[in-house]
Copies of this chain bind each other. A is one copy, B any other.
């Protein structure tokens, strides 16, 4: 494997490739051409070849890819051969929905603990996942060796919680709040801002329709 940093855009496509390869493998298929792969994941072939090139030689030109070998390679690359315990902090509307969300592509991601301040839900088990008080967060994160947290708290309470998460040893945060979080460089923060997604879509729609009117 080449030793280099992989662009974020490439990293975001790896789960797509992996998911499709799993579907193919389950259906008993042994080879896949880059054209088939391209059509299924809706990424153009040139991009796929460039993405794959970061990992060295994954297939032979004109021969296609060996489905099982490629699937196993991506499983390892995506750490899908290890179980990742994830914490969810903030069991409000979005948090509750995520507790019920099937992280469908992966058998290796499991929300193993949820945290909230609301006494009506603390102590309950929601969709198989125990909800602990926020005061137990540090202890549970250490006990369960969790290094990833999904953050679905109100924006205004996010930063102190992030500080606590960092102190408890969390290494990655999937941030659903609109707040821009401060964390040490050793902690990865990935922002999923739903309003941003919608505004960006509206921006592109608007830009496109101006193009058409020319």
Residues of A within 8 A of B (CB): 5-6, 8, 11-12, 14-16, 18-19, 40-42, 77-80, 84, 86, 93-94, 96-98, 100-101, 103-106, 109, 147-148, 150, 155, 171-172, 174, 178, 180, 182, 186, 188, 190, 192-209
Contacts and interface: CB of A to CB of B under 8 A. Distances in A.
Most chain B CB atoms below 10 A, which of A8, A18, A174, A194: A194
Contacts of A77: 203
B195 A192 contact: no
Contact of A197 (B84, B104, B190): B190
A198 B104 CA distance: 11
A204 to B, nearest CB: 5
Contacts of A188: 201, 204-205, 208
A105 B155 CA distance: 12
Most chain B CB atoms below 10 A, which of A16, A97, A104, A178: A97
A198 B174 contact: yes
Contact of A203 (B79, B86, B93): B79
A105 B199 contact: yes
A62 B109 CA distance: 48
A128 to B, nearest CB: 14
Contacts of A80: 199
A178 B78 contact: no
A44 to B, nearest CB: 13
Given A79-B206, A178-B19, A148 B103 contact: no
Given A188-B208, A204-B11, A205-B147, A199 B97 contact: no
B40 A195 contact: no
A197 B172 contact: no
Nearest to A6: B207
A45 to B, nearest CB: 15
Contacts of A201: 148, 172, 174, 188, 190
A83 B84 CA distance: 42
